[in-house]
Structure 1
Amino acid sequence: MAIPGDAAKSLNTWTDLSGFSALRQTAQSDAKAALPAVAKQFESIFTQMMLKSMRDASSGDGLMDSDAGNQWRDMFDQQLSVQLSQGGHGIGIAQMLVKQLGGALGGSSDGATGASANAASGDGWQQRLHSVASAVTSTGEKVLKLLPKDAEEFVRQLAPYAQQAAQKLGVSVRAVLAQAALETQWGKHLPTHSNGNTSNNLFGMKAGSSWDGDKVSVKTLEFEGGVPVQKHAQFRSYDNPGQSFNDYAQLISDNPRYARALNHGEDVVGFAKGLVSGGYATDPAYAQKIIAIANSPQMRDALDAIREGALKNVGSQPNPSE
């Protein structure tokens, strides 16, 4: 039983997991036919890990690097690892696996004893190969769902602070969390001090002349005439996330520029457009990005996962100064 054509094609794209189901079914019914595809998926995962290690071992960000650029680079590496393993002979790991495992799945032996032994061996390898296919599926799903997993943790930790800020602004918790997720890539990229300490700045709040607190200078991407330009800017630094939410809520509620962002309730669109009209960000797609994150499956699933906890018991919310 060969892997269906559409499923085989989907294995060439790292974001498409539909081919793994067909691969698992093929491994159950015809282990030998599934072996090359499974081996290539293992090679792809290994290649991706190797590329990630190479990136992590670099000397640091380049002059034109940015968080957005790093995100696209990671996506490119993930697809590159798939293409390298699927094209030609790859880097050789898949071929080695097929050679090592294929012998146990080989043809029949002469005589009753030989045939029985080969059948037993084939059954054992078929079971192991099914486990391999299942492992590939699980690993592939983890690669694709890394962001949702981060999203759930991000929402779980920050929901109590976000609820307090949302109540002050008259908007939904979802909207506030979506903006924080956009500014920090779900908490993975916050302005950081030279000593490695985080600024806890979750909303890209810059340190203007009126700011007398701690600050950090980092590279940032600004849009001038719709064109992204990398600059250095100073951002506010906080002792904890609660202070960041509190400062953000105070800025939005007290500054007349952002009056149009207030009291929108569950209307994320009105909130996001109100921020942009007040000049919160230079990115022309800033509002659309907030709306997309707020309405994403990641946000929905993360909120559903903690709705019975952090968002239900308002009385247990932490103090923003903590």
Structure 2
Amino acid sequence: MIASRLSNDQTAKLALDTNSLNGLRQSAKDGSPAAMKEAATQFEAMFINMMMKSMRDATPQEGLMDNQQTKTFTTMLDQQMSQNLAKRGVGLADVLVRQLGAQQMGQQALAIGADGVGAGAAAPGIKGLPTAMNAAAMYQGGAAAAAATGKAPPLAATTESGRVQAPHVRAFQEKLHEHAHAAEQTTGVPAKFMLGQAALETGWGKRMIKNADGTSSNNLFGIKAGPNWKGKVATAVTTEYVNGKPQTRVEKFRAYDTPADSFRDYARLITNNPRYEKVIANGGDAEAFARGLQRAGYATDPHYAAKLTRLIKHSLA
């Protein structure tokens, strides 16, 4: 029923959709008050939807209704509610309309020199759209192009919940984004979940296990070197929990030539080892993914799942 309403109501096109963004870009270029109002309303709907998603993520999701089907329909409901609220208005659209109007007047002034010839170049981006909408439009366009080529989509300017990432988080993500995307194609686990785990295991890359010569082992996931491992090995002091109590031990860990090798080995581990079947099955939910890893015995820290969930949701999601 919701899908039918969305298809029949042209004003219900989501700004998060690539085609809708392209339409908004063309409308905004017209410069008419109606076009600017439509663009601003769609952006307001996107903003409301992001807030609702953030609130959903912060609410415990347990019980009989906690399943993928329920989450899918809840997402659709939130999108429809966002559109309905945006039509009534919460004030953001009016502010954007004023900004769009001011930008249009400024561009016209720049375009008219003393002799009637253009006196300046327009600012980079999509003409007629405010900065935040520009970022969303460029990200969506880049994501569509990346999907067509199989490459990793560009990183968004903010997280899905609208937060700006800390510099060290952004740097870590930019460095490993391509490798995480490749592992996502193999495992089905979202790249940000694996980036979160790598961040937890290495302290955002600051506590990477070292080789004997002081170089990095590139072991991003703390995978130990068991008797079947035939590759390079790095030795390090680590903390293991036995019956809930921490113990300091010296363990052997796998070492890799590159971070990409670490992601590939991690992908093989969780896809080929039967222990992690349920982890893969719950790859669409951060908390279920983290709990699955802990139940499967990935780490002995009794708080591993909680730490990983918090890191993913508050730093990367």
With normalisation by structure 2, the TM-score equals 0.47
Structure ID, larger Rg: 1
With normalisation by structure 1, the TM-score equals 0.46
